[in-house]
Amino acid sequence: MAYIGSPAAPTIATVSDDTITTAKLADDAVTSAKITDGAVTPTDLSTGHPNWDSSGNVGIGTSSPATALDMLGDLTIRRAAVSTQLTRIQSGGGVSTIIAENGASATVQALTFETGNNSSTSERMRIDSSGNLLVGTTSTLVYGSSGSGSADGWVLGPDGGGNVGMSSNITWNKYSTGAVFGFRYDGTQVGNISISTTNTSYNTSSDYRLKENVVEVSDGIDRVKLLKPSRFNFIADPNKTVDGFLAHEVADVVPEAITGTKDAMRTEDVYDEDGNVTGTQEVPDYQGIDQSKLVPLLTAALQEAITKIETLEARVATLESA
């Protein structure tokens, strides 16, 4: 026997030798059907009823399923027949959406992602009820709170001012000293951010085994004299004056400290309110500076200056003792 129709009022199709000879649904959507080799030969399906094609694909709301399960419309998954804890998958307006919903409570439901085997699963990631993204942890305890624990993890979410974004508040939590974030180029690590019980270190690759043609900097003072430190404010922050450099002026002296090209532009997509690309526009591709790259030159210049000072002090001491 095979039950066809809604769970509340199913009708029965008689199956013999893999062939349905007669079938009748309560709403008369299917008046008669015969299945041979997996294909429905005469069909009278109204929208919303399953349809099997000759390849074994199942269509819900469509008579031409393109995949093993092809559904026209939204999908709702309930924990039980009367449960208000729902997971819904829907699309529209150029956006696909997965929704975790508690329909009977003001409590916002979390959405979790797990992996595992045939005996157990473990949570790997979740979006909690506050919109935080948690990876490798199930708690936002890492946000400014201390406590016992053993699992490393990180949280992306709102900061104290309610701001959200990659630039506002990402918290990595680790219960041992070491790297919390690594940077690789073509599979080779080129730096990391590491922590200990009291501090954070920003590390770039510097092992001698990675380098060749090593020579001392011999023109430190001459090159430092070419730098043009200045005071200015950023256009976006007119009330704050800072010390710094103009990137293109540093590029001629310490080019490795600068990214980008002076006056460069780039093309970016323009989107409408539904997230659809409507065109392109040219925008500035701003230069950047890593001021830590100036430290070796400044150190060399200082050493050269110290040598000059010590030489002059020795001459003065000789003259005074004569």
**Chain segment 39-51, per-residue pLDDT in tens:** 444 344 444 467 7
| Inside any domain, residue 79 | no
User: Per-residue confidence at 33, pLDDT binned at 50, 70, 90?
Assistant: very low
Whole-number pLDDT of residue 16: 46
Maximum average pLDDT range among 128-137, 176-185, 235-244, 267-276 = 235-244
The C-alpha angle with vertex 244 and arms to 291 and 203, in degrees rounded to 5, equals: 20
What is the number of structural domains in the chain? Answer: 2
Summarize pLDDT for 55-101 with one digit per residue, the tens.
888 888 888 888 998 888 888 877 776 566 778 788 877 778 888 87
Maximum average pLDDT range among 194-198, 202-206, 247-251, 278-282 = 247-251
| Inside any domain, residue 49 | yes
Q: In the listed set 22, 41, 70, which residue is the last one of a domain according to the structure?
A: 70
Whole-number pLDDT of residue 65: 86
Whole-number pLDDT of residue 228: 97
Whole-number pLDDT of residue 140: 67
Summarize pLDDT for 115-168 with one digit per residue, the tens.
989 889 888 888 887 778 888 777 765 444 444 444 566 777 655 444 443 434
User: Per-residue confidence at 252, pLDDT binned at 50, 70, 90?
Assistant: very high
Please provide the average confidence, as pLDDT, over all residues in the chain.
78
Per-residue b/e over 73-87, b at no fewer than 16 CB within 10 Å? eeeeeeeeeeeeebe
Whole-number pLDDT of residue 291: 95
| Inside any domain, residue 37 | yes
| Inside any domain, residue 246 | yes
Whole-number pLDDT of residue 160: 45
User: Per-residue confidence at 275, pLDDT binned at 50, 70, 90?
Assistant: confident
| Inside any domain, residue 115 | no
Residues of the chain above pLDDT 70, percent: 72
Q: Using CA atoms, how far apart are residues 288 and 271, in angstroms rounded to an integer?
A: 26
| Inside any domain, residue 6 | yes
| Inside any domain, residue 177 | no
Whole-number pLDDT of residue 186: 84
Maximum average pLDDT range among 126-130, 246-250, 270-274 = 246-250
Helices (H), the chain: 220-224, 247-251, 295-321
Q: In the listed set 70, 91, 116, which residue is the last one of a domain according to the structure?
A: 70
Summarize pLDDT for 279-309 with one digit per residue, the tens.
999 999 999 999 999 999 999 999 999 999 9
For residue 67, the tally of other CB atoms under 10 A from its CB is: 10
Maximum average pLDDT range among 16-25, 144-153, 245-254 = 245-254
Q: In the listed set 32, 54, 70, which residue is the last one of a domain according to the structure?
A: 70
The H or E element spanning position 52 is: strand 50-52
| Inside any domain, residue 16 | yes
Summarize pLDDT for 206-218 with one digit per residue, the tens.
999 999 999 999 9
Q: Using CA atoms, how far apart are residues 99 and 96, in angstroms rounded to an integer?
A: 10
pLDDT above 60 for 260: yes
Q: Which domain holds residue 276?
A: 220-305
Q: Are strands 242-244 and 230-232 parallel, antiparallel or unpaired?
A: antiparallel
Q: Are the CB atoms for 226 and 265 separated by under 8 Å?
A: no
Averaged pLDDT, 216-225: 96
